[in-house]
Amino acid sequence: MENRKLDEIDITILRTLQKDIRTSFKEIANQCNISTDTIKNRYNKLIENEVIRGSTIVVDPKKMGQGNLVIIGIKVEQKFSDSVLNMIKKMKGLCVVTKSIGQYDIEAIFLLEDIEQIGITKDKIEDFPQVKSADVGIFVDKPLLCPKNFEFE
Amino acid sequence: MKLDNIDITILEMLKKDARISFREIARKIDVSPDTISNRFERLKEQGIIVSSTVIINPKKIGYSFIARFGVDVKPAYSSQVLEEIIKIPSVIVASKLVGKYDLISIIVVKNFQHLCELREYILEMPYVEKVETSTWINTMELCPYYFLI
pLDDT in tens, B38-64: 999 999 999 888 888 888 888 888 888
Q: Do A71 and B104 touch (CB under 8 A)?
A: yes
* Set of chain A residues whose Cβ sits within 8 Å of the Cβ of B144: 95-96, 109
Nearest to A144 among B19, B46, B86 (CB): B86
Q: Do A146 and B92 touch (CB under 8 A)?
A: yes
Whether the CB-CB separation of B40 and B32 falls below 8 Å is answered with: no
* Set of chain B residues whose Cβ sits within 8 Å of the Cβ of A17: 53-54
Residue in chain A closest to B104 (alpha carbons) equals A139
Q: Is the ipTM of this complex over 0.85?
A: no
Of the pLDDT bands very low, low, confident and very high (cuts 50, 70, 90), residue A20 is confident
Contacts of B23 by beta carbon, 8 Å cutoff, 6+ apart: B33
Q: Do A107 and B50 touch (CB under 8 A)?
A: no
Residue A96 confidence (pLDDT): 83
> Is the pTM value of this prediction over 0.95?
no
Q: Rounded to whole angstroms, what are the CA distances from A22 to A13, A126, A138, B9?
A: 12, 43, 33, 18
The residue-averaged pLDDT of B20-33 equals: 94
**Which of the pair, B1 or B31, is modelled with greater confidence?**
B31
Of the pLDDT bands very low, low, confident and very high (cuts 50, 70, 90), residue B144 is very low
Identify which of A126, A140, A138 has the alpha carbon closest to the alpha carbon of residue A91: A126
The residue-averaged pLDDT of B131-135 equals: 94
Residue in chain A closest to B100 (alpha carbons) equals A137
Whether the CB-CB separation of B116 and B67 falls below 8 Å is answered with: no
Q: In chain A, which ranges are continuous DSSP H helix?
A: 8-19, 25-32, 36-48, 81-89, 115-127
pLDDT tens for A41-97 read: 999 999 999 888 888 888 877 777 667 889 999 999 988 989 999 899 889 888 888
Identity of the residue numbered B46:
Q
Q: Phi and psi at residue A19, in whole multiples of 5°?
A: -75, -40
Q: Find the range with the poorest average confidence among B24-33, B78-87, B104-113, B136-145.
A: B136-145
The residue-averaged pLDDT of B27-38 equals: 94
pLDDT at residue B145 greater than cutoff 50: no
Of the pLDDT bands very low, low, confident and very high (cuts 50, 70, 90), residue A151 is low
Residue in chain B closest to A89 (alpha carbons) equals B142
CA A124 to chain centre: 23
Burial of B90 by CB count in 10 Å (0-12 exposed, 13-18 middle, 19+ buried)?
buried
Q: CA-to-CA distance for B57 and A152, rounded, in angstroms?
A: 11
Residue A124 confidence (pLDDT): 95
Please count the residue pairs, one from chain A and one from chain B, whose beta carbons lie less than 8 angstroms apart: 209
Q: Distance (Å) from the C-alpha of residue A22 to the closest C-alpha of chain B? A: 6
**Which of the pair, A152 or A52, is modelled with greater confidence?**
A52
Of the pLDDT bands very low, low, confident and very high (cuts 50, 70, 90), residue B139 is low
Q: Do A143 and B93 touch (CB under 8 A)?
A: yes
Nearest to A59 among B50, B87, B137 (CB): B50
